[in-house]
Chains A and B, each alone.
Chain A
């Protein structure tokens, strides 16, 4: 069908760079997440959860977005676009549906057919039947559904279990970086939980590994810039 849309040049499918640990059907992630995810990337057609809405959700899909994937965010009216851009998401390939209303399942299903990644914060706890329908949609279209919330059938669950902000005191300094322990659990009981300390975010808003000097009140390794109350 020669629709007008045909005159808009097609984007080639997301291509993986060589240095990214990516097999067929894998969307790349930021290096900090490679060890956490069983496949070393986002498996196309899978569903992941990432705890409550926060930087972790954005960071999880940033690698794919930076690699050319299209990303839609459903049900989150409060996306920090600047933070998303700093973590590596490309705002030019980002679509927001802040308030999908009652028809959110149809919205998500439509977006899964077209977008590589759909970030969803469901307005209510979806019943099992609905979850299975959306899981099937993700499988059919080969896209990834990342849920901020509860999703019993998810193939991987990431949560922040421990977090500490650095750079801020009592009446001085400012928020500089957050050292966060991210735990990734799998579906099966046999799957061993992996965990890693990340800078989530680092002082420039990016996300990186933070080493595993757990317990220490570790400061960000880079020479901390003078903490002036900039105002």
Chain B
């Protein structure tokens, strides 16, 4: 390896390791990603997690140690895939280019030193994470980063402001963003042991406030903030209770202590009466989770919606009783089946729109929408006048008009009106996800209306309209 210094102004070599399967998720996946970060730290101790599924480190040192960048990339990809995880590795000058290189199919790309501007020139401006600019530039005929890089710098600043200047610099391969290596979270965690174990909550909560202060000091000293904080309480009998709380760098020490109180209260509420107490609290530990650079940015707890103190407190209290995932808020989503038209997100987590709403979704059930949508379809039987099961042929022909509906063990209901079959063939190109069914709307004599689906000869109720 040559030891020549990096060209003046050129950013250092950066390796980005990306696990594409995880990019869409928040929550548990972010924690599972810790394993991948663990692998990366075997190659370089200073790893920055960009977001769940993507981490980066400076490539120069490790590349020299492992015998070149190509060898480094091969070795790290092999180490990750040994754990059964797919990953892509990209190396380039600067973080921005390296991240794009990691996205290149099929397994990432190694952009040779100094070739980064050429690599970037061919990419569409859409790769910039700047929605306004990405919409504007193509309309001006600037469709690639190459075209953007060719603009005179003064011109870009004058026309597009600070964002345009940054975009231009990125397009030229001049990446202003330095890496922020992540210190292992364990280093920043704080804990206190109680000897003898304490039975009352108050001393634990008092200690929690001091611990939270200490944790915040340590985070601030590293210029970091945490997205969540994990509160671990261990009892004298060895039982451990861990719960994650949204933090976003917003919680004061008192607010953290209050969450510890809720957690303890919620946990006591769970103990069945008569069960001997767990012997008091022996250990309290606060672990900052998902470290990010402290930017002073505040994330709204409730999506874009402003949320009042009282509402947030009530919701978090219930989370303390039932667990993080037991309290959700709905997000309207696109889809054909009623169950697909909404996803629920645990309160406090960022929302992840899976399917856009504003698409036509051909074949969706027309309005009005059902008021009751079963989380899992309910098996049912539908028979005709003679008592034979109603079937639908491949050409959407009925064996007979539906006359009777039986749901589970309930008495048979007479069907007054019905409509269908509406055949649905979804994802026929993908054998794993292909669905071939027919839908019906049924109105029973008791006035209830149902959305039923028949697939492979068996009937299920997806929703009830009343």
Give the B-binding residues of A (Cβ under 8 A). Answer: 1-11, 53-55, 58, 70, 72, 77-86, 91-101, 103, 106-107, 110-111, 113-115, 160, 162-165, 168-178, 201-205, 229-231
Contact = CB atoms under 8 A, between A and B. Distances in A.
A5 B313 contact: yes
Given A101-B322, A110-B317, A92 B255 contact: no
B303 A4 contact: no
Given A94-B330, A170-B417, A171-B418, A5 B309 contact: yes
Interface in B293-313: 298, 300-313
Interface of B: 250-252, 254-255, 258, 269-270, 298, 300-315, 317-318, 321-322, 326-332, 338, 341-342, 344, 347, 363, 366-375, 398, 401, 417-424, 439, 441, 443, 447, 449, 463-466
Contacts of B368: 83, 86, 175-178, 201-205
13 contacts: A1-B254, A5-B255, A9-B306, A86-B367, A93-B305, A94-B330, A97-B326, A107-B322, A114-B308, A165-B417, A170-B418, A173-B419, A229-B422
The dominant DSSP class at the A interface is mixed
Nearest to A162: B447
Contact of A231 (B367, B422, B465): B422
A72 B330 CA distance: 11
A81 B340 CA distance: 10
Contact of A80 (B302, B311, B338, B366): B338
B375 A171 contact: no
Contact of B310 (A4, A81, A114): A114
Contacts of A8: 250, 300-301, 306-309, 312
A97 B322 contact: yes
Nearest to A91: B330
A106 B443 contact: no
Given A82-B342, A107-B318, A173-B419, A92 B371 contact: no
Contacts of A230: 363, 366, 422
A115 to B, nearest CB: 6
B413 to A, nearest CB: 14
A111 B314 contact: yes
Contacts of A84: 330, 371
Contact of A113 (B270, B310, B321): B310
Contacts of B417: 165, 168-170
A168 B422 contact: no
What 5 A-B pairs come out closest when comparing CB atoms? A114-B314, A231-B422, A81-B342, A55-B371, A82-B369
Q: Which of B254, B318, B422, B423 has most chain A Cβ within 10 Å?
A: B318
Given A4-B255, A97-B327, A165-B417, A58 B441 contact: no
A205 B202 CA distance: 51
Contacts of B310: 113-114
